[in-house]
Amino acid sequence: DAKTTQPNSMESNEEEPVHLPCNHSTISGTDYIHWYRQLPSQGPEYVIHGLTSNVNNRMASLAIAEDRKSSTLILHRATLRDAAVYYCILKTGGTSYGKLTFGQGTILTVHP
């Protein structure tokens, strides 16, 4: 599985935007970029995913570099509930059994 690199931790203030980076220099053409987050004492939850184009949903935006070797998860206005571990994962498309390979993730701390 292609590998991703994320900072171990990041901090933000409440109501400010947060940009969480992810490097994936060995990404292949069929790899989708998925983001999950894990709140304390809960299972991971899906945030967003994309292939080539930037994506927006109600939770976040995903900005994908033109060469696809990096991406950034954007939380437009961080809240205390956004404090979690954020995982950037490459998931191979083209199959019906895609699995997630989690790394260490980025611990996001949000200050009031």
- As a residue count, the chain comes to 112
Tell me whether residue 81 or residue 99 sits nearer to another protein (CB atom): 99
- Shortest Å distance, C-beta 102 to another protein: 3
Report CA dihedral (40, 16, 106, 2) to the nearest 10 degrees.
120
Q: Does 105 contact another protein by CB under 8 A? A: yes
- Shortest Å distance, C-beta 36 to another protein: 8
Per-residue binding string, another protein, 52-91, x by CB under 8 A, is ---------------------------------x-x---x
Q: Does 39 contact another protein by CB under 8 A? A: no
Alpha-carbon distance of 112 to 15, in angstroms, equals 9
What residue ranges bind another protein (CB under 8 A)?
32, 34, 36, 41-46, 49, 85, 87, 91-105
